Structure 1
Amino acid sequence: MAFVLHPFHVIRKVPRGHAAFNLSRHAIRGVDQMIELDGNLLAAAGFMALGGFLRGFLGFGGSMAAVPGLSLIYGPLGAVSIVLLADIGAVIQLLRTAIRESDKQVVAPLALASVLTTPLGAWLLINLDPGDMRRAIAITVLGFVIVLILGWRYQRPPSLPVVIGVGTVGGVLSGSAGMGAPPAVLFLLSGPHGHKAVRANIIGYLAVANMTALVTIWLHGALTVDILWRALVLAPPYLIAIWIGGRLFHNASEIFFRYAALATTAVIGVYALLA
C-alpha cells in the first residue's frame, strides 16, 4: 500500500501492483540513488580540495592526497585520470609562476629525461611485480627524506648528468609505480635554490610529467565520457584550493616550506610502503 498525492492535494491509498504504486517506488529508489551520489560527490570534492591545497602550496602532492580517496569511489584508473584532467587547470594557474621563477637549466633536462623514460617504467610495470617495486622505492624515498631532515644539501648547482639521472629515475618510477614526483622533489629540495625557486621548479617539472601521464592514459583509451564529466565537476574545488594554497605559500617561511614538503614526501613514502 502506498500514499499518492494527487493534483488537488488529496492523499489516496493505492494498492500494490497499481501503476501509481510502482511509479512512487521507482521515484523513491531514484531519490536514494541521488542521495548516495551526492554523498560520493561531496567526499570526492573534499579529497580534491585537499589535493588542490597541497598542489597550490607545495607545487606537488595533489595526486597523493586525492587519488587514494577517489580510488574508493571511482577506482584507481578513474581516480588518477580525474586528477590529471583537473590538473590541466592547475598547470594553467601555476605555469606563469614556474616560467618566471624556475631554473630552466634544471627543469628542462629533468622533465625531458622523465618524458623519455616513462614508457620504460610502463614496460617494467607489465613485466615485474609492481608491489615489490613500490616498496623498494618507498624505502629509498624515506631514506633520502631522513638524510635531508638531517640537513644535507648540495653546496653547488648539480651537473647535467646528475639532473638527467634524476629525471630518468622519475620517469621510470612514474611509469612503473605512479611515483614520479618524490625523486624530483627530494632532488630539488637538496639543491641551493630558495623555496620560491624550488616550488617553481617542481611546478614546471610536474606540468610536463603529468601531461605525459595523461597522454599515455588517453592513448590506451581509458578516458571515458564518465571520467571527463566527473573531472569537469570536481575541477572547481581543486582549482579553488590551489588558489588558496598559493596565497598561503607567499606568507610561508623557507624553513616551514621545506619541512612541509619533506613531511608530505615522507607520507607518500609510508603510504607506498604499506599499500
Structure 2
Amino acid sequence: MTAAFFTLLVCFIGGALQSLIGFGCAIIMMALLPYLISPIPLVSGMTSVICFLCSLALTLKYRRPVHLRRILPVFAAYLVLLPISNRIALALPPGRMKLYLGLALVLMSAYYLMCSGKTLRLPRTLPVALAVGMLSGILSGLFTMGGPPVVLYAMSASDDKEDYLGMIQFYFTITNLSNSVVRIAAGVITPAVLPWIAVGMTGTAAGMLAAKPLQGRLNWDALRRWTYVMIGVVGVNNILSAL
C-alpha cells in the first residue's frame, strides 16, 4: 500500500510537470520509482507505457500540423538505436545499471539547470537530426529518458511555442509507443506490471488535471529548477550507493 501511494505521488508530480513544460514525466519517474520498484528495466517498461498515454493525451490537446520532415529523421535514427540499447540494459548487472542511471540523472540535472532561461539553437540539418535521434534512442533504450536532446532540437526546429508543443508531444507519442512495443517483445512488460501501470497512470492523469488551474498561480520556473536539483541529488545518491 505504501509503495502504491508513493508511486501515485511520483506520477502525479511527473504528470503535472509534463503538462506544464512539455516534458519531465519520464525523468521524474526514473529518478524516484527505482526506490519503490525493481529492477530498473521493469521501471523503464512501466514508464514507457505511462508516458505514451500521457503524451498521446497532450498530442490530442495540441493537435496541429506537425513538420514531419523535421522530426522523421530524428525518429528514424531513434528506431535504429532503441532495440540495441534496450538489449544492453537487460544484460547489465543491477548495480552497474544503477550507477549508469545515477550518472544520467546527474548529467540531465546539470543540463537543464545550465540551460534554464537560455536560448540554445541547433542547426536544422540532417546530420544534427540524426545525431539527436541516435542519442535519444540510446537514452530511451537504457532508461526511457530520451527527451532532453529532442527537446533542444524541437525548440530550434519549431516556429513558435504551439508548434514546439505539438512537435515534441507527437515525437514522444510515437517513441513511447515504440519503446513499449520493444519492451513487450523483450518480455519486460508483462501482465504482472499492469496494476503498477494503472496506479501510475491514475497519478499522472491527476497531475495533468491539477496543473491546469495552477498555471497562473505558481512560479513554475522556480519549481522546475528545484525539481532538477532534486533529480541531481537522487542521481548522486544512486552513484554513491552503486560504488
Asked if TM exceeds 0.5, the reply is yes
The range that moved more, 233-242 or 96-105, is 96-105
Contact 1:59 1:200 (8 Å CA) reproduced: no
Partner Cα distance (2:112, 2:123) in 1: 20
The equivalent of 2:50 in structure 1 is 86
1:111 aligns to 2:75 (yes or no):
yes
Question: For structure 2, which runs of at least 5 residues remain unmatched after alignment?
Answer: 239-243
1:239 aligns to 2:205 (yes or no):
yes
The equivalent of 2:241 in structure 1 is none
Partner Cα distance (1:270, 1:192) in 2: 32
Contact 1:117 1:168 (8 Å CA) reproduced: yes
Which one has more relative contact order, counting CA pairs under 8 Å at least 6 apart? 2
The equivalent of 1:11 in structure 2 is none
Q: 1:258: Cα distance to partner? A: 7.6
Q: 1:264: Cα distance to partner? A: 5.6
Contact 1:55 1:245 (8 Å CA) reproduced: no
Q: 1:102: Cα distance to partner? A: 4.2
Q: How does 1:1-275 map to 2 (within 5 A)?
A: 37=1, 39-75=2-38, 76-100=40-64, 102-125=66-89, 126=91, 141=108, 144-145=111-112, 148-149=115-116, 151-154=118-121, 158-190=124-156, 193-245=159-211, 268=231, 271-272=234-235, 274-275=237-238
What TM-score results when the alignment is normalised by the length of structure 2?
0.74
The change in CA–CA distance for 1:101 and 1:248 in structure 2 (over 3 A counts) is farther
Q: Residue deviations 1:155-197, cap 9 Å, x none?
A: x861122112111111122223443111112333455643333
Letter in 1 for 2:145: M
Q: 1:49: Cα distance to partner? A: 0.8
Partner Cα distance (1:102, 1:264) in 2: 30
The change in CA–CA distance for 1:270 and 1:68 in structure 2 (over 3 A counts) is closer
Q: Percent of aligned pairs with the same residue?
A: 18
Contact 2:102 2:234 (8 Å CA) reproduced: no
Q: 1:225: Cα distance to partner? A: 2.4
The change in CA–CA distance for 1:230 and 1:173 in structure 2 (over 3 A counts) is closer
Partner Cα distance (1:82, 1:208) in 2: 16
SS of 1:74's equivalent? coil
Contact 1:113 1:171 (8 Å CA) reproduced: yes
Question: For structure 1, which runs of at least 5 residues remain unmatched after alignment?
Answer: 1-36
Partner Cα distance (1:123, 1:164) in 2: 21
The range that moved more, 258-267 or 56-65, is 258-267
Contact 1:49 1:238 (8 Å CA) reproduced: yes
Contact 1:167 1:184 (8 Å CA) reproduced: yes
Letter in 1 for 2:45: S
Give the number of equivalent residue pairs. Answer: 233
How much is the aligned-residue C-alpha RMSD, in angstroms?
3.5
Partner Cα distance (1:137, 1:171) in 2: 14
The change in CA–CA distance for 1:89 and 1:180 in structure 2 (over 3 A counts) is closer
